[in-house]
Amino acid sequence: MNERDSEALACLLEQAGYTEVADEAEADVMIFNTCSVRDQAERKAIGKIGFMKKLKSHRPDMVVGVVGCMAQNHGAELLTELPVVDFVAGTDQLHRVPEIVDGIRRERGRVVADELDREIRPELDAHRYGGVCAQVAVMRGCDQFCSYCIVPHTRGREKSRPIPAIVDEVRRLVDNGTREILLLGQNITAYGVAEARRAGVYKPAEFSALAELLTELNGIDGLARIRFTSPHVHFMNDTFIKAIAELPKVCKCFHVPLQSGSDRMLKLMRRSYTSAEYLECIRKIKAAIPEVNFTTDIIVGFSTETQEDFEMTRQVMREVVYDMAYIFRYSPREGTKSAAEYPDDVPEEVKHERNQILLSDLEAGAAERNARFRGRLQEVLVEGVSKRNPERWTGRTDLNKVVNFMPSPDVHVGDLVNVRITRTTANSLFGELCQQNG
Ligand code: 5AD
Ligand code: SF4
């Protein structure tokens, strides 16, 4: 979401007459888009922002701003702690950044803009066109309040954009060459839920505005693929699963955050599902769709997590078989329920050790998981020259596997091509081009 916000903000600044420079030493305006989800992210940002002191001492007219979750989380405090900062603009104030920067360049002074908004500003649909893949934010905020998570505090209540606005945005992208879109929402399966609740039409067992949105997008000519992230098990009903199974352009990839396989941990985390409910949801997906790529998020070392709890996580991970997982060590965030009420009592070494164990579990199966593609024909969306080997081209399959192949003059960036897989490693697939699909 931050990547997407940074892109939209860059566009807004370009519309206001600014241009991007390659070297930060030449910039008149420097804006840090920050994340608060773990302490490490905040510390990294503070370190980097502090570094600007030297640059600014040579160029006193430079404007330095902090936007995003840290700006929302700490607001005016950041101005006190970081004298180099001229303005902070929170998660719902990005659209005001060009005006704030102009004001500071005219009259100096320092600005704090951290009000949360009930609406998503339409200006934020701006894109830097030209890429094969683009991100589209369909909703913002989160109402889940998982006990460890700062996001509901920094990004505010859930709000979804209307389907026609999203369809318009995707059409514009496709008109400008985009072939694949990644739909974004902190809890994307809650797309439209807050609005439906307010209208009194929310029926949890069958409501899925996301299924409706995906159906609309699936009908856009020229669009080849649709991805989405991140769903939440609690909202993944049959309507949603059926839509994914039936819509040909929707990739069969599910990033389903598990967080923990222990019911005691899940309860403390306020995740609103048990490990059995999670596994039941995965079972339904597997039954509805022949081949699926599952990925997940895991927190190790959450408050009071025992070796037994941890082993339960490993057990669920073995049952699901994930292609990839993001593993995080628990980091208490001030303002959250867990930081206030539960001890951070798992020693750092144990968190680290559990992290390593899960990473090696995943690595152990990676080569084997990719080997199943050997000899098979895969449809690949061509992304262009490989960064590792300029002689090769790369693209990705529906299941998000990177495929390397030798180019041919009639294959272009953005094409869907058939590639016969000849060799696989733990990280990627290699193959030969077959006839083109168009
Ligand atoms: N500590 C560690 N990991 C966290 N995440 C969210 N909050 C925390 C925290 N306080 C992880 C969750 C979430 C992902 C985006 O970040 O796994 O799914
Ligand atoms: Fe945070 Fe939970 Fe919302 Fe995800 S669903 S953003 S972990 S509160």
pLDDT beyond 60 at 372: yes
Stretch 225-249: mean pLDDT? 97
Q: What's the pLDDT tens digit per position in 82-129?
A: 999 999 999 999 999 999 999 999 998 999 999 998 889 999 999 999
Q: Whose CA is nearest to atom 6 of ligand 1?
A: 149
- Give helix 307-320 / helix 275-288 axis angle, nearest 10°: 10
Residue with CA nearest ligand 1 atom 16: 37
Which residue out of 147, 270, 302, 328 has the highest number of ligand 1 atoms within 8 Å of its CB and is therefore the one to mutate? 328
Instruction: Please say whether the beta carbons of 257 and 297 come within 8 A.
Output: yes
211 Cα to the center of ligand 1, angstroms? 26
The pLDDT value recorded for residue 436 is 55
Task: Kindly indicate the confidence band of residue 438, based on its pLDDT and cuts at 50, 70 and 90.
Answer: very low
pLDDT of the residue at 280: 98
pLDDT digit string (tens) for 175-198?
Answer: 999 999 999 999 999 999 999 999
Report how far ligand 2's centroid is from the alpha carbon of 330 (Å).
14
Number of the ligand 2 atom closest to the C-alpha atom of 232: 5
Is 263 a pocket residue for ligand 1 (Cβ < 6 Å)?
no
For residues 84 and 49, give the distance between their C-alpha atoms in angstroms, rounded to a whole number.
Answer: 8
Is 122 in contact with 135 (CB distance < 8 Å)? no
Please list every protein residue whose CB sits less than 6 Å from any atom of ligand 2.
142, 144-146, 149, 151-152, 186-187, 232
Distance 270 CA to ligand 1 centre (A): 13
So what's the pLDDT on residue 216?
Answer: 98
Q: Which ligand is nearest to the CA of 144?
A: 2
Q: Is the pLDDT of residue 207 over 50?
A: yes
Tens digit of each residue's pLDDT (9 = 90 or more) over 256-266? 999 999 999 99
435 has pLDDT over 70: no
Ligand sitting nearest the alpha carbon of 42: 1
| Residue 118 in tokens | 């009930």
Distances (CA, A) of 313 to 265, 266, 326, 367: 10, 10, 13, 22
- Between these two residues, 388 and 166, which has the higher pLDDT value? 166
CA separation (Å) from 192 to 1, 143, 186, 203, 239? 18, 12, 13, 12, 14
Q: Is the CB of 299 under 6 A from ligand 1?
A: yes
pLDDT of residue 118: 85
CA of 144 to the centre of ligand 2 (A): 6
* Three-state DSSP string of the chain: CHHHHHHHHHHHHHHCCCCCCCCHHHCCEEEEEECCCCHHHHHHHHHHHHCHHHHHHHCCCCEEEEEEHHHHHHCCHHHHHCCCCCEEECCCCHHHHHHHHHHHHHHCCCEEECCCCCCCCHHHHCCCCCCCEEEEECEECCCCCCCCCCHHHHHCCCEECCHHHHHHHHHHHHHCCCCEEEEECCCHHHCCHHHHHHCCCCCCCCCCHHHHHHHHHHCCCCCCEEEEECCCHHHCCHHHHHHHHHCCCECCEEECCCECCCHHHHHHCCCCCCHHHHHHHHHHHHHHCCCCEEEEEEEECCCCCCHHHHHHHHHHHHHHCCCEEEEEECCCCCCCHHHHHCCCCCCHHHHHHHHHHHHHHHHHHHHHHHHCCCCCEEEEEEEEECCCCCCCEEEEECCCCEEEECCCCCCCCCCEEEEEEEEECCCCEEEEEEEECC
Report which ligand 1 atom has the smallest distance to the Cα of 333. 10
Which amino acid residue places its CA nearest to atom 1 of ligand 2? 149
Cross-strand bridge partners of residue 64: 30
What's the mean per-residue pLDDT of the chain?
96
Report yes or no: 79 and 57 within 8 Å, Cβ to Cβ. Answer: no
- Average pLDDT on 6-21 reads 96
pLDDT of residue 119: 86
Binned at pLDDT 50, 70 and 90, residue 317 comes out as very high
Considering only CA atoms, which residue is closest to atom 14 of ligand 1? 297
Q: Do 158 and 119 contact (CB within 8 A), yes or no?
A: no
pLDDT exceeds 90 at position 42: yes
As a whole-number percent, the residues of the chain with pLDDT over 70 amount to: 99
How far apart are the C-alpha atoms of 329 and 385, rounded to whole Å?
36
Q: Is 330 in the pocket of ligand 1 (CB under 6 A)?
A: yes
| Per-residue pLDDT at 185 | 97
